[in-house]
Every structure is written in C-alpha cells, then in structure tokens.
Amino acid sequence: MLKKAILIFIIAILLLFLLARFQIYAPFSENSEEQIFRIESGDGLSKISANLQDHGFIRDDVFFNIYVYLQGKESALKAGDYLLSKSMSIKEIADKIISGQAEGLQITIIEGWDIKDITEYLSGLNVCSEEEFIQAAEGSEGYLFPDTYRITSATLPSDLVKIMGANFEKKLTSDLRAEIEEQGKTIFEIITMASIIEKEVITLEDKKIVSGILWKRIRIGMPLQSCATIAYITRKNSTKISIEETQIESPYNTYKYTGLPVGPICNPSFDSIIAAIYPEDSNYLYHLSTPEGETIFSRTFEEHNIAKAKYLK
C-alpha cells in the first residue's frame, strides 16, 4: 500500500511538472500580432501577471508567478511599454520584462482611415481606450496624417493627435498653401475634397481626373453624389448604396445636398491632397469604380448607366 501511495505521489508530481512546463514554455496561441503591454511604476508581480492574463497573453497567472519566483526575480520586473504577442510563451514574456526590454510601439495609420478606424486600431493595441482617443481627436478629422509613428508609455492620446497634426502641417508646404490660396479655396475645402477622392479611387492619375469631375460638379451646381459619403454616414464597409440611403438626412449626404459635405470623411493620403489641389480637366462628368478597382469615366448620364450595367452587375 505504501509503495502504491509513493508511486501515485511520484506520478502526480511528474504530471504537475509536465503541466507547469507546458504552461511556461508553450505559447498561448498562434496569433503573432504585437500589442503594447504597459507596466506602470509600482506594479507588483501579482498585478502584472493578472493583467497579462486579463489581456490574453498568458493562460494562467499562477504559472507566470511560479516562473518568476523560481528565477528569484519577483522584484526585478521593470515598468515600461513592452511589445508582446500571444504567440510568446510565459518564459519569453517574463524574461523580456525582467530584462527591462521596454520599447516604444510602432503604429501605422492607414491612408483613408477615419477617426473611428484609428480609435479601434489603437484600442486593439491597448494604447488607449476608445473614449480617450475620440475625445482627444475631436475636430481633427482629415488632419491626422496617415503615416508610421513610434509612441511610448509617455505618449498621451492628445500627444499623438498633436504629432499627427504636426506631420500634416509639415506635408502641406508653403508652396501648396500658396496654390490653394491662389485658387480661392481654403485648406478645409481641399482636405474635405481630398477625403472623398481618397475613398473613391486608387491611383494618383485617376484621383486627379476625379478631382476635376467633382470640382466641376460644384461649379455647375450638380450634386457630387459620392457613394463614399453615404458609406461614411452608414458605416458600411461598401460603396454599394441603396436609393433609400441616398435620402438619409445628413449634412454629409452629397446626393441630397450640393457642394462639399460639412467636413472630411477620412484622413486622406498625400496623393489625394495633391489631386484635390491640382485637378485634371476632362470632358467627363461621371465615374465609377469596378470591383477590381478600375475607374470607368463617362461624359454623359447615358454612358454612365451603360457602364454601371456592364461593370456593376
């Protein structure tokens, strides 16, 4: 009986050892996307491990604690921002934090994202809450220049908005500003137009032609009829719109109201800004984008309807 009890005890210890080894050395998932994990000054082992579990980086904070205790490093965990992924093991995460390999996070703001897109992206990286960034970015739509930035734990949402805004100011050179003024337009009008162009077409060549079409429509009092503005209102990830949607009551509805909408619908690329400033004259008055991204231009409404029947089946 004693031998049996000893055997069971040994087996139990072995199983616990194997379980602990698996928990410590195996990654939580195959998701290798890096996210920022912030350790504040004064955070102890129990809080750090609990936060790691809450954010889905580790399976069980108990095994993180065990590993750190076995290393004798419970007081060596350093504050800072750490780039972690769920494909890292407890050992890899703990070793990184113990060694103090804190670093800034590189973020990339995609051309054509609006504030809500940016908010969801930053929130997903644990940079800040959605509420914090929305509050900081209020009134900045169109001026958060799409680019790659590096931030740290000291970078507040308001700081990031200022950094992106400063980048915008730098990109819009004095020559470009002079050209806008010479045309009798405002920067606000240019950025609003650029935001529509950004969502409508892809290449710089097409953007300049579309810019010419849209500015021409404004001159002759014809509605812009931009599907992108309707998608901005509805938050649909598609430019296919219904007749009912063209009647939505909104100052962004360019089917219902002539002229530019009340403001930008996204943060446009530099190419779209250039296209808005330097439109290309043409005989076209209509355009559409095929599912493959090709832009089809038409001179008359009849030609446009033929193109829609052909390319938008």
Q: List, for residues 9-62, the tens digit of each pLDDT value.
A: 666 566 565 555 666 777 777 788 888 888 887 898 999 999 999 988 988 888
Q: Catalogue the E-assigned strands of the chain.
A: 35-39, 80-84, 105-108, 148-151, 286-289, 295-298
Residue 96: which residues within 8 A CB-CB, separation 6 or more?
A: 82, 84, 88
Provide the mean pLDDT of the chain: 89
What average pLDDT does range 202-213 have in this prediction?
Answer: 96
* The pLDDT value given to residue 36: 80
The three-state DSSP-derived secondary structure of 280-304 is CCCCCCEEEECCCCCEEEECCHHHH
What average pLDDT does range 83-103 have in this prediction?
Answer: 84
pLDDT-based confidence at residue 106 (cuts at 50, 70, 90): confident
* The pLDDT value given to residue 20: 59
* The pLDDT value given to residue 8: 61
Dump pLDDT digits (tens) for 214-262: 999 999 999 999 999 999 999 887 767 889 999 999 999 999 999 999 9
From 279, 266, 187, 180, select the one nearest 226 (Cα to Cα).
266
pLDDT-based confidence at residue 178 (cuts at 50, 70, 90): very high
The three-state DSSP-derived secondary structure of 156-211 is CHHHHHHHHHHHHHHHCCHHHHHHHHHCCCCHHHHHHHHHHHHHHCCCHHHHHHHH
**Alpha carbon 25 to chain centroid distance?**
32
Q: Is residue 83 a contact partner of residue 92, using CB atoms and an 8 Å limit?
A: no
pLDDT higher than threshold 90 for residue 75? no
pLDDT higher than threshold 80 for residue 105? no
pTM of the complete model: 0.71
User: What residue segments make up the domains of the chain, in order of their start?
Assistant: 25-98, 105-170, 173-311
* The pLDDT value given to residue 181: 97
Q: Identity (one letter) of the amino acid at 136?
A: A
Measured distance CA(93)–CA(64) in Å, rounded: 9
- For domain 25-98, the CATH superfamily is Endolytic murein transglycosylase (3.30.1490.480)
Measured distance CA(187)–CA(180) in Å, rounded: 7
* The pLDDT value given to residue 266: 97
What average pLDDT does range 96-114 have in this prediction?
Answer: 85
pLDDT-based confidence at residue 189 (cuts at 50, 70, 90): very high
pLDDT higher than threshold 90 for residue 188? yes
pLDDT higher than threshold 90 for residue 121? yes
pLDDT-based confidence at residue 125 (cuts at 50, 70, 90): confident
* The pLDDT value given to residue 5: 64
pLDDT higher than threshold 60 for residue 152? yes
Dump pLDDT digits (tens) for 265-309: 999 999 999 999 999 999 999 998 888 888 999 999 999 989 888
Residue 127 CB neighbour total at 10 angstroms: 21
Q: What are the angstrom distances between the C-alpha of 185 and each of 4, 276, 302?
A: 90, 11, 32
Pairwise pLDDT comparison (310 vs 161), residue with the higher score:
161
* The pLDDT value given to residue 19: 58
